[in-house]
Amino acid sequence: MAEEQRLDATGQQQTRRQLVRAVIASAVGTSIEWYDFFLYGFAASTIFAELFFPKSDPTTGLLLSLGTYFGGFAARPIGAAIFGHYGDRIGRKATLIITLLSMGIATALVGLVPTYEQIGIWGGILLTVLRLLQGISVGGEWGGSVLLATEWGQSRGGRRGFLGSWPQFGVPVGLVLGYLALEVFQPLDPYWGWRIPFLLSIVMAGVGLYIRLGILETPVFTKVLQENRVERVPVREVIVRNWREIVLSALLRTGQQAPFYIFTVFILTYATKTLGFQAGDIYPYVIAAGIVSLFTVPFWGYVSDIVGRRKLYIIGAAAMVVWSFVYWPLLDTRVPSLVLLAIVLAAPIHDIQYGPQATFIAESFTGRLRYSGASLGYQLASVTAGGPAPLIAVWLYATYQSSFAIAVYMAICALISVVAAFALKDRSKQDYAVEYDDVQTEPRTETSP
């Protein structure tokens, strides 16, 4: 008996150790991935139009530059399908190693692309291709990171919302690092300054790879393997079985993702071109917002374990509807303190949705289809919400010459999230390690003659 207790205690210690490692690996890996992804977005908003599309008028050049940025979003569902397939077939760990390497290489190569003056339009074409590779990598990264963290936690109860918030934590980390890198290195040299942050990506990817190699496969996927329940074509299977959850997951993100890329990417263009600020003035404001999110993302993930994922998400989406009509008037005052207030307060309001979002979506899919389903639902919103948002904001302001039109657009997106959250089942209390269709068949089995 004593020996059994000792072995059980040892097993629990090993599980806790792996859980900590998995959470760290998820947070570090997603931080690196999002550093790479955001770095491109910031450069596209500020310098790529002049470097790669100089023959266009300013608005057209900006739209072309943001168009290459949108390409990364368009590729994310492709990455979700590719890596979701392998994540549900060969495992979470192996797939995440591939996504991290592909992102690091693609980003480093962006730092070597010649400008328009050197090779003409081919520079813009190369940027677009590398951006597509970035998008494919991110499309596979998110789902695996969320599952790596949450599937090492307790399968029932526990702090699954809190654990799932740590891959989300990588977003503000990547945001802060990306802004800081451009602010520090861009002024150093007109040619190499902006390239150095991209080249550093390969070093950061090496660090992330080292951490991920020390993680074991998750208990949930190990159980799927042991029970011989690996689907032959998981992406096709999840689309057939869970198309509703995939669509609702994408709609759920609309009111979070569209405002987020307006808060972090379009704000650079709006503040410099419309409000008359210098980019160097706005960088610290966005960095401050990112630092706030380092605390509010895990906080709201923790709160979702107490009040439930769906309830908290609806509150967050409703708050975004209201904030949409407060944010722009604060910016339009052109008063630095109020502009800072608007940019920083946007972070905790956005994070009410973002903190619990990863776990809310991942819980919507059963274990053997979870990587494919969660990735597809999450990344489809990149095409409908996140990617177009800066482009739509540019077009709305150019058309109506008023930020109110952008506020209306953001509020509509948030209302879509409210409806989607109402429609998506809250599985906060459901056993994460048991296949959902098995649970559904149990009552019928008990009552059958």
Determine, yes or no, domain membership for 147: yes
Q: Are the C-beta atoms of residues 436 and 366 closer than 8 Å to each other? A: yes
Q: Taking 80 as the threshold, does the pLDDT of residue 277 lie above it? A: yes
The pLDDT value recorded for residue 175 is: 83
pLDDT tens digit sequence for 178-231: 878 888 888 888 778 888 988 988 888 888 888 888 888 999 999 999 999 999
Cα atoms in the 13 Å half-sphere on the side-chain side of 236: 3
The pLDDT value recorded for residue 236 is: 96
Determine, yes or no, domain membership for 446: no
The pLDDT value recorded for residue 28 is: 85
Output the CA angle 442-221-445, nearest 5 degrees. Answer: 10
The pLDDT value recorded for residue 331 is: 96
Determine, yes or no, domain membership for 244: yes
Q: Taking 90 as the threshold, does the pLDDT of residue 5 lie above it? A: no
The pLDDT value recorded for residue 442 is: 43
Determine, yes or no, domain membership for 428: no
Residue, of 120 and 3, whose pLDDT is higher = 120
User: Confidence band (pLDDT; 50, 70, 90) for 6?
Assistant: very low
Q: Taking 90 as the threshold, does the pLDDT of residue 29 lie above it? A: no
Q: What is the pLDDT averaged over residues 93-107?
A: 90
Output the CA angle 280-282-286, nearest 5 degrees. Answer: 125
The pLDDT value recorded for residue 302 is: 96
Cα–Cα distance for residue pair 54/322, rounded to 1 Å = 39
Determine, yes or no, domain membership for 287: yes
Comparing 1-10, 99-108, 169-178, 309-318, which segment has the lowest mean pLDDT?
1-10
The pLDDT value recorded for residue 11 is: 58
Q: Taking 50 as the threshold, does the pLDDT of residue 444 lie above it? A: no
Cα–Cα distance for residue pair 167/28, rounded to 1 Å = 8
pLDDT tens digit sequence for 49-67: 778 877 665 666 666 666 6
Q: How many domains does the chain have?
A: 1
Its pTM surpasses 0.75: yes
> Per-residue DSSP letters for 105-148?
HHHHHHTT---HHHHTTHHHHHHHHHHHHHHHHHHHHHHHHHHH
Q: What is the pLDDT averaged over residues 291-300?
A: 96
Determine, yes or no, domain membership for 28: yes
Determine, yes or no, domain membership for 226: no
The residue type of 129 is V
Q: Taking 90 as the threshold, does the pLDDT of residue 1 lie above it? A: no
The residue type of 116 is Y
Determine, yes or no, domain membership for 220: no
The pLDDT value recorded for residue 185 is: 86
Mean model confidence pLDDT for the chain: 87
Q: Which CATH number goes with the domain that contains 331? A: 1.20.1250.20
Comparing 140-144, 330-334, 417-421, which segment has the lowest mean pLDDT?
140-144
Q: Which of 70-79, 121-130, 425-434 is predicted most confidently?
A: 425-434
Q: Domain range for residue 369?
A: 13-215+238-423
The residue type of 270 is Y
pLDDT tens digit sequence for 259-271: 998 998 889 889 9
Q: Are the C-beta atoms of residues 147 and 87 closer than 8 Å to each other? A: yes
> Per-residue DSSP letters for 79-93?
HHHHHHHHHTTT-HH
